[in-house]
């Protein structure tokens, strides 16, 4: 049994954050461990309040997990501020397991989940440790300091982010950039691959970014190579969207993370 670690914020609505990550790990038959960085009052409509966990408590959680479990893969999500980022980077600096960094900055609802002053800390301390970095279009624009409005922009943004983390694979998530949807760019060491999956017309999309990065981390923990892990994670996400729960809340509902259970059959 492989173990994976998520370092992220809590979503009281259960569809994103730590909750989505643990569900995704379980669906991949990977044991999920967690370090909580922030607590949110959140539902399908939006984020009403955020409270960071004190950095000494974040450090204590990390020490507890890493001293006991053999972690085979990890991901970061919402980290909120620079002190928390520095604590996380310090704890992971000597670790050799693959790390997926989901640079969570702003929720789909528009609520800010990372302080502006923390972006530089993330780039300087966490990006050098990353195996995969998974910005959406908005995050890619902030990190690359440019507008990202088309595929040409995605390519250029990926190149600029790669300059910040030359060892990492950069997955720029295209979202609804084109009518067909589902087009992401995977970039590494000067090579680009466009990944397209079926576009699923649903408003039940709460937690898609968290779910995708957790699925990549779970697959890396299982020993899958990065390009295969990313492609398989995208297919898993498509299935979770197709089978999304209906009638939950008044906003963007949750995916169905446990729609499928056998990781050996994931493409």
Q: Which of 209, 232, 239, 253 is catalytic?
A: 209
Measured CA to CA in angstroms, residue 216 lies from 13, 37, 47, 223, 233 at distances of 23, 20, 25, 11, 5
Q: Which of 174, 210, 232, 253 is catalytic?
A: 210
Q: What is the DSSP letter of 94?
A: T
Asked if 122 contacts 133 with a C-beta cutoff of 8 angstroms, the reply is no
Q: Is 173 a catalytic residue?
A: yes
Q: Is 2 a catalytic residue?
A: no
Q: Is 208 a catalytic residue?
A: yes
Q: Which of 6, 183, 208, 211 is catalytic?
A: 208
Q: Is 131 a catalytic residue?
A: no
Q: Which of 77, 207, 232, 253 is catalytic?
A: 207
Q: Compute the distance between CA of residue 148 and CA of residue 106 in angstroms, rounded to an integer.
A: 16
Show the 3-state SS of 210-253.
HHHHHHHHHHHHCCCCHHHHHHHHHHHHHHHHHCCCCCCCCCCC
Strand-pair partners of 31? 3
Q: Which of 23, 75, 173, 234 is catalytic?
A: 173
Q: Is 207 a catalytic residue?
A: yes
Q: Which of 76, 205, 234, 253 is catalytic?
A: 205
Strand-pair partners of 114? 80
Residues classed as catalytic: 173, 205, 207-210
């Amino acid at each position: 049994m492989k173990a994976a670690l998520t370092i992220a914020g809590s979503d009281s609505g259960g569809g994103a954050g730590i909750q989505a990550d643990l569900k995704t790990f379980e669906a991949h038959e990977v044991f999920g461990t967690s370090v909580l960085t922030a607590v949110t009052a959140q539902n399908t409509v939006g984020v009403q309040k955020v409270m960071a966990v004190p950095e000494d408590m974040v450090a204590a959680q990390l020490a507890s997990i890493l001293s006991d479990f053999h972690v085979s893969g990890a991901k970061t999500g919402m980290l909120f501020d620079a002190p928390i980022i520095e604590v996380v980077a310090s704890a992971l600096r000597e670790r050799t397991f693959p790390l997926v960094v989901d640079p969570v900055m702003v929720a789909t609802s528009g609520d800010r989940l990372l302080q502006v002053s923390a972006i530089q800390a993330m780039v300087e301390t966490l990006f050098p440790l990353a195996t995969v970095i998974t910005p959406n279009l908005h995050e890619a624009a902030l990190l690359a300091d440019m507008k990202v409005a088309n595929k040409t922009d995605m390519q250029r943004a990926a190149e600029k982010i790669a300059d910040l983390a030359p060892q990492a694979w950069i997955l720029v998530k295209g979202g609804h950039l084109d009518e067909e949807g589902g087009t992401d760019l995977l970039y590494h060491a000067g090579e680009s691959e466009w990944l397209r999956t079926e576009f699923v017309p649903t408003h039940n999309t709460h937690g898609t970014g968290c779910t995708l990065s957790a699925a990549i981390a779970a697959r890396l923990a299982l020993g899958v190579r990065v390009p295969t892990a990313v492609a398989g994670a995208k297919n898993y996400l498509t299935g979770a969207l197709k089978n999304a729960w209906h009638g939950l809340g008044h906003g963007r509902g949750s995916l169905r993370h446990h729609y499928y259970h056998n990781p050996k059959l994931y493409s």
